[in-house]
Amino acid sequence: MANGIEFQEAQKIQSNYVRVNIYCYSLQKRENEKMKRKCLILSLVLLICGFTVSSQAALYDRGGGLIYDDVLNITWLADANYAVTSGYDDDGLMNWSDAVEWADTLEYAKYDDWRLPDITIPCEGIIDCTVNSEFGYLFYIELGGMPGEPISGDVSYFTGIQGWVYWMQRTFPPNPEYAVDFDFSNGFLGVSPKIHEAYIWAVRDGDSAPPIIPEPISSVLFVTGGAALAGKRYFKRKKTGN
């Protein structure tokens, strides 16, 4: 497991990488090819450094639709559109209040402490908060996303990722009528009115394991009864000398 220092350094590098890419985009309409090349080189260096520092990070498939992130120490649902798969909702789109309620009341694999993804550490500005969010870390570090490019469908251990906006747990402090969201069509964090609809993806704190399925009683009785019968026959043969 990567320690906290490695995680923070990876986040700083990735945050700088996003900043550089935004700057690169601002140069696209300019004629300064030399500046464009320098920008591209710096961007690639930061990207390589970011993945080198965070190379110990990993996702683990715990089975039963549970994916554990050993750096963030959270468990993701493998199904990124479980509200639809489970039959809870027709299209998986909900306003923020309904999304929070769905996560709060969700019971899956014996766990009932699910929530929406959140921001991991204090951050300054949209760019820092993008990378320092659980969605941002998943998008850029674990799934290898790039700024401005979508991630959707079945990726890594996950299924049903929607290439659009997902709600996050946090209300936007300057205006409580808004909440924070993350856009899988471009990898950026933003805010939207809570009455708008977005997709939902549940996480829980800590590692997780699927529930142990007990052996059917009929099978246990069959095995126990068979063993008892075999033992009875053995001792009977031993007694008669056959």
The kind and range of the H/E element at 224 are helix 217-240
Q: Which long-range contacts (CB under 8 A, 24 or more apart) does 144-149 make?
A: 145/187, 146/21, 146/187, 147/18, 147/21, 147/22, 147/186, 147/187, 147/188, 148/21, 148/25, 148/186, 148/187, 149/186, 149/187
pLDDT (0 to 100) of residue 132: 76
**Predicted pLDDT of residue 25:** 40
Distance separating alpha carbons of residues 136 and 147, to the nearest angstrom:
10
Yes or no: say if 92 and 85 are a contact pair by the CB < 8 Å rule: no
One pLDDT digit (tens) per residue for the chain, 242 residues? 444 444 444 444 444 444 444 444 434 444 455 554 444 444 444 544 554 444 456 899 999 999 999 999 999 999 999 999 999 999 999 999 999 999 999 999 999 999 999 987 665 555 546 667 999 999 988 999 998 899 999 999 999 999 999 999 999 988 999 999 999 999 988 899 999 999 999 999 999 988 776 655 544 444 445 555 555 555 555 555 55
User: pLDDT at position 53, please?
Assistant: 45
What is the CATH architecture of 59-205? Answer: Roll (3.10)
Q: Domain residues of the chain, as ranges?
A: 1-52, 59-205
Give pTM, 2 decimals: 0.69
pLDDT at 236: 54
